[in-house]
Amino acid sequence: MNRQKSFKNEKPTIFIVPTPIGNLDEMTPRAIDILKRVDVIAAEDTRVTLSLLKKFDINTRVIQHQAHNEQESSIGLLKLLTQGYNIALVSDAGYPLISDPGQNIVNIATSMGYNVVPLSGSNAALNALVASGLQVQPFAFIGFLNSSSNERRKELNYYKTLPMTMIFHEAPHRIEKMLKDALDILGNRRACLAREITKCHEEFIRGTIEEILLECNNLKGEIVLVIDGYKDDTRAIDMSEIMKLVDEKINLGLSTKDAIKEVSKFTGVNKNKIYEFFHSKL
């Protein structure tokens, strides 16, 4: 049991401070004030953070807290807390812990009774969600999938029956492969690809996964992908008619796999669903 009254005790505090994801005008007055008042700023990349601090005339000491040294630097941050120091945790852009370092020290600090206080601010996932045109509530934030296609497909299989809108982060050089895997595993769902949010090249590509795939060559910048959740529409589908279409394609000489793929494209029914139903009737 841990009950924190953030501003009614004198305990050392870790402030979770979001930073702009592109437009520096989104740096809040409270964030600037906290960064000036804390004893130490723990940053993902000190060069990026020092550039931001210079912009707002902030001279607080900065130390590094990256994913690859998170365990080690968490010990150093804990030592600072025991010495009575207040710490601001920032990432390069956006909200710390959301696909960025910080989880380890937050777990340690809360378990030991120190204050962990969040500030409101930039978050690319939520920006993309509310502008996606898809159902906003409920949603699941997934973040980055594995860079390996085999592992990524396993993860997509795990998430494919989530009945809620899903939010992914992806690198521009992997987005096409990721979308192809998503199309294969999730089916041709509605989606929205958001990139360069809050920057001058901000863009939203809304449509089906298949349609977005046609537009994703040579995309650059930070990408958030929002995809429709699973909808159990089996009761609304006459699977006997679907099976007739599959049989017709097979009789025309297509393999079972290709026949199911063609019928899926024609009817909009998830090909995995057709495949499972087809083999359940054998």
pLDDT digits (tens, 9 = 90+) for 87-101: 999 999 999 999 888
The mean per-residue pLDDT over the stretch 268-272 comes to 79
Q: Which residue has the higher pLDDT, 82 or 2?
A: 82
In this structure, the answer to whether residues 195 and 105 fall within a common structural domain is no
Last residue of a domain, one of 122, 148, 174: 122
- CA count, 13 A, side-chain hemisphere, 185: 22
Which structural domain, as residue segments, surrounds residue 248? 234-280
10-14, 19-23, 222-226, 278-282: which has the minimum mean pLDDT? Answer: 278-282
DSSP lists the bridge partners of residue 168 as 143, 225
Instruction: Output the pLDDT for position 114.
Output: 96
Average pLDDT, the chain: 92
Residue 3 lies in a domain: no
Same domain, 175 and 114: no
Q: Is residue 47 part of a domain?
A: yes
Predicted pLDDT at 231? 82
DSSP codes of every residue in 176-233: HHHHHHHHHHH-S-EEEEEESTTSTT-EEEEEEHHHHHTT-TT--S-EEEEEPPP---
Tens of pLDDT along 219-267? Answer: 999 999 999 999 865 556 778 888 888 888 888 888 988 888 888 877 7
Q: What percent of the chain has pLDDT over 70?
A: 98
- Give the domain CATH number at 97: 3.40.1010.10
For residues 173 and 187, membership in a common domain is answered with: yes
More confident position, 53 or 275: 53
Query: Looking at the structure, do residues 138 and 116 belong to the same domain, yes or no?
Result: no
Shared domain check, 149 and 111: no
34 and 93 housed in the same domain: yes
Domain boundary residue, one of 122, 151, 186: 122
pLDDT at 239: 83
Say whether both 19 and 118 belong to one domain.
yes
Which pLDDT belongs to residue 193?
98
Flag whether the pTM goes above 0.85. Answer: no
Last residue of a domain, one of 92, 122, 152: 122
118/129 same-domain check: no
Q: How far apart are CA 143 and CA 198, in angstroms?
A: 19
pLDDT digit string, tens, across residues 21-60: 999 999 999 999 999 999 999 999 999 999 999 999 999 9
Rounded distance between C-alpha atoms, residue 62 and residue 234, angstroms? 56
Residues 195 and 137 in one domain: yes
pLDDT in tens, 105-120: 999 999 999 999 999 9
**Cα gap 264→116, rounded to integer Å:** 49
Find the mean pLDDT for residues 213-220. Answer: 90
Kindly state the average pLDDT of the residues 149-168: 96
| pLDDT above 90 coverage of the chain, percent | 75
Model pLDDT, residue 71: 82
Q: Are residue 158 and residue 78 in the same domain, yes or no?
A: no
Residues 150 and 78 in one domain: no
Question: Residue 204's domain is classified under what CATH number?
Answer: 3.30.950.10
Number of domains into which the chain is organized: 3
31: its two tokens: 């964030």
Q: Tell me: pLDDT of 217 over 90.
A: no
**Does some domain include residue 268?**
yes
The model's confidence at residue 277, banded by pLDDT at 50, 70 and 90, is confident
Which residue type sits at 259?
A: A
At residue 233, the pLDDT reads 59
pLDDT of residue 282: 65
